[in-house]
């Protein structure tokens, strides 16, 4: 039922947070989880609690044209907060971070954080995904192995140093402030994103990341990774069974992709 009031969404802070994502992989959903876990906010994780893909499929079905207040959804992760339904990972993070106290409280910092997060996700999620699926997402990895090998070669030789170098530049900038953090001298959601980016990339390409770490060119980046890992709430989460193991999602370990 659509009413003139339907546009007024209930999104007060008392509303429950629901994350809808694919079960069995950390994937893009994991970035959202890290924000909730660090903030110590409870959330419904449909991937874990339902254990199947039915909720996610319902949202992205071609027959689902949204409702009077919410446009239809292309793909998970999806966030439901009260009556509001949104998707697209950087968008969900941008919505949540101020509510969860993970951004500066004044100025235009949110746009700087959004640009940092978009850049991190470009390199360590979107481009990384292309290393095992350079031809088509609809094909199995096994059906695009020669192309994946070529793509990975350039990704590891050129793109990884480019993106690690960018993160180190962020840390070398005055705008990063004091301490190990990326922006404004305080922990923000960009730090959590960087952690998961590096953690996943390390899982996929352990030798290559070790080599980059040993180069000494990105010491700040790896120090930041450790600083996030040592946050009490994040530490507890990583040790819990809520933390999903890597599998055949974005971050996959195919040893042949990093062998010379």
Residues near a second copy, by CB under 8 A:
2, 7-9, 11, 62, 64-72, 74-75, 84, 86-88, 90-91, 94-95, 107-108, 111-112, 114-116, 118-119, 126, 130, 134-136, 138-139, 147, 150-151, 154, 158, 165-166, 169-170, 172-176, 182-183
- The CB-of-249 to a second copy minimum distance in angstroms stands at 17
Return the number of the residue (118 or 238) whose C-beta is nearest a second copy.
118
Radius of gyration of the chain, Cα coordinates, nearest whole angstrom? 19
3-state secondary structure of 45: strand
State the maximum Cα–Cα separation within the chain, in Å, rounded to a whole number.
Answer: 63
Return the number of the residue (50 or 83) whose C-beta is nearest a second copy.
83
Distance CA 42, CA 256 (A): 40
- The CB-of-159 to a second copy minimum distance in angstroms stands at 8
* H-only helix segments in the chain: 29-39, 46-49, 54-60, 89-99, 109-121, 128-132, 145-154, 160-172, 189-204, 206-214, 219-229, 232-239
Return the number of the residue (46 or 151) whose C-beta is nearest a second copy.
151
- The CB-of-247 to a second copy minimum distance in angstroms stands at 23
Q: Residue 174, class by beta-carbon neighbours within 10 Å (0-12 exposed, 13-18 middle, 19+ buried)?
A: exposed
Return the number of the residue (150 or 242) whose C-beta is nearest a second copy.
150
Return the number of the residue (48 or 82) whose C-beta is nearest a second copy.
82
- The CB-of-52 to a second copy minimum distance in angstroms stands at 23
């Amino acid at each position: 039922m659509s009413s003139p009031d339907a546009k007024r969404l209930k999104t007060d802070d008392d509303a429950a947070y629901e994350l809808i994502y694919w079960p069995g992989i950390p994937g893009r959903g994991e970035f959202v989880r890290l924000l909730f876990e660090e903030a110590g906010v409870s959330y419904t994780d449909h991937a874990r609690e339902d254990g199947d893909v039915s909720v996610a499929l319902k949202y992205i079905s071609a027959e689902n044209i949204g409702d009077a207040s919410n446009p239809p959804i292309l793909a998970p992760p999806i966030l439901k907060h009260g009556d509001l339904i949104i998707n697209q990972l950087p968008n969900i993070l941008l919505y949540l971070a101020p509510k969860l106290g993970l951004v500066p409280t004044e100025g235009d910092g949110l746009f700087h954080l959004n640009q940092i997060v978009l850049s991190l996700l470009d390199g360590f999620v979107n481009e990384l995904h292309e290393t095992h699926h350079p031809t088509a997402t609809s094909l199995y990895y096994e059906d695009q192995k020669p192309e994946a090998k070529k793509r990975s070669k350039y990704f590891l030789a050129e793109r990884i140093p480019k993106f690690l170098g960018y993160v180190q530049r962020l840390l070398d900038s005055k705008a990063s402030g004091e301490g190990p953090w990326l922006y404004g001298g305080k922990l923000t959601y960009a730090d959590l994103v960087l952690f998961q980016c590096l953690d996943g990339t390390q899982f996929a390409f352990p030798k290559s990341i070790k080599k980059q770490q040993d180069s000494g060119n990105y010491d700040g980046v790896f120090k930041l990774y450790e600083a996030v890992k040592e946050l009490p709430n994040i530490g507890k989460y990583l040790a819990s069974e809520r933390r999903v193991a890597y599998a055949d999602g974005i971050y996959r370990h195919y040893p042949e992709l990093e062998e010379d």
